[in-house]
Every structure is written in structure tokens, then in C-alpha cells.
Amino acid sequence: MNLRSLADAIKTKKLKQAIDWNGALPSHIAIMMDGNGRWAARRGLPRSAGHYAGMQTMRETIRNCLHANVKYLTLYAFSTENWKRPAEEVDYIINLVHQFVTGNTIREINDSNIRIRFIGDISRFSDSTQQVMKNAAAVTGANTGMTVNFAMNYGGRSEIIHALKSVIDDGKEDLTPDEFETYLYTSGCPSPQLVIRTSGEKRLSGFLLWQCAQAELWFTDEMWPSFSELLLYRAIYDYQCRRRGFGS
């Protein structure tokens, strides 16, 4: 272990002790995994290396959230805008999804009692991609430890229009916000209380526009592949400090 990792391990341990595990904790965290390309460019690597490293970080973060008793985790993996990227890069990301939801990783996810869902308009993906997504959701569908939503071909405005069309199809003329939520891709999940965005960008970029109405926003300059257990705990600790301040 080098000096930096040792210092981080000590800070992580202290933060874990500082968090009130019986107090307000976010049961749903949403993460905008941003900065894979920049992480790679800074190391003189192709963008694909950044996405690959980002997938490893995603796997660790899922594990860290499970240990932190987070019940729902939503990860922004592919936006409706991402189709504008070179086909080669899009194919590489989709191939990572295939790797993730087949083989050892999905087995590990299933053994950890994690349920996987894909939110967004997945009909734009090829039949085989849709099939592996549906299969991963079906295989893990009965798990109760934590739910991980992968937002794929997701855009918040499109989600609201999609929900609205279903409301109209159902002939509803009057409905409450709670009823409207049942038409969203995230139906059944509570709204996220904490949104994390990496890479120094401070925008929502259409992520969970309806669901984030009351969410705390937390930003870090670190690029997604460098996101760590330490940063996750820092975000949870800051969330708790902000909540403690409420009304007092």
C-alpha cells in the first residue's frame, strides 16, 4: 500500500466513525458517472480505457453502497445524447454492458442479493442488448438487498413525456404527484435523496428531473474512475450534516 492509499484508508475509517448510522441516511443515491474520457486523456490513454476503468469503479461503488446500507442506487450510464458520440465509442460502452450483465459479474451481483433494473428507452438498443438487459433484470428480479437502476438511453424530459403518454392512454384526467410517479421508469423506487456528480461539472443534465425535486446535490472534481469509498462516505457525511441543519 502506498502512502496516499494509506492516508485515504485512515480518512475513510474516520469518516465511517463520524457518520451517524442510526441517523438520516440516503436510502436512494443517484450518481452521474462523469469524466471517463478526461481521466483517460490525462493518462495518455484512449477513451475506451476510461470507460473500462469507469466500469471497475462502478462495480466497487455498487459494493460500497451495499455495505453502506443504501437500498437504491441509480447510475447514469448512457444518456439520450450519448448516441452522438463516434459509433466505435458507443459500441464499446454497449459491449461493457454485455460484459457486466453476463458471466461472473452478474453472478456476483446475484449472490449479493442485488436486483438490477434498466431505466430509459431501451427499445433503441439491438435485440441482443435488450435481451441481456431483460435477462439480468429477470435473474435478479426477486433480490431484496439493494436495487441498482442503470439509466440507459435515458433522458429526464423524454421520461416525463413517455409517462404522460401512458397517463393519456389510461384516460386519466386528474392525478396526484404520487400517482404520476407510478408512470415513471423508476416506479416503485423512492426519490433519490442524494445526487452525486463527478468531474467538476455542476449540472443535472436531464437526470431524474422529476425525482430530484428535493434531492441534495453533491459534486466532486474527481473523475469517475477515481471515485472511491472515501468520496462515497464524504458525500454521505455531508448529506447528513446538511439534513441535521434542517429547521434547527
Which residues would be at the binding site for ligand FPP (CB under 6 A)? 33-38, 51, 54-55, 58, 77, 82, 93, 96-97, 100, 150, 199
Return the HEC string of the chain: CCHHHHHHHHHHHHHHHHCCCCCCCCCEEEEECCCHHHHHHHCCCCHHHHHHHHHHHHHHHHHHHHHCCCCEEEEEEEEHHHHHCCHHHHHHHHHHHHHHHCCHHHHHHHHCCEEEEEECCHHHCCHHHHHHHHHHHHHHCCCCCEEEEEEEEECHHHHHHHHHHHHHHCCCCCCCHHHHHCCCCCCCCCCCCEEEECCCCCCCCCCCCCCCCCCEEEECCCCHHHCCHHHHHHHHHHHHHHHHHCCC
Q: Of 38 and 71, which CB lies nearer to ligand FPP in the complex structure?
A: 38
Active-site residues, by number, are 34, 82
Q: Of 125 and 239, which CB lies nearer to ligand FPP in the complex structure?
A: 125
CB 61 within 8 A of CB 104: no
- The two most distant CA atoms of the chain are separated, in Å, by 63
Beta carbon of residue 240, minimum distance to ligand FPP (angstroms, whole number):
27
Beta carbon of residue 37, minimum distance to ligand FPP (angstroms, whole number):
3
Q: Of 45 and 217, which CB lies nearer to ligand FPP in the complex structure?
A: 45
Q: Can you tell me the distance from the alpha carbon of 67 to that of 220, in angstroms, rounded to the nearest whole number?
A: 21
Q: Please give the distance of CA 24 from its chain centroid, rounded to a whole number.
A: 20
Q: Of 25 and 235, which CB lies nearer to ligand FPP in the complex structure?
A: 235
Beta carbon of residue 77, minimum distance to ligand FPP (angstroms, whole number):
4
Q: Of 49 and 97, which CB lies nearer to ligand FPP in the complex structure?
A: 97
Beta carbon of residue 33, minimum distance to ligand FPP (angstroms, whole number):
5
Beta carbon of residue 213, minimum distance to ligand FPP (angstroms, whole number):
24
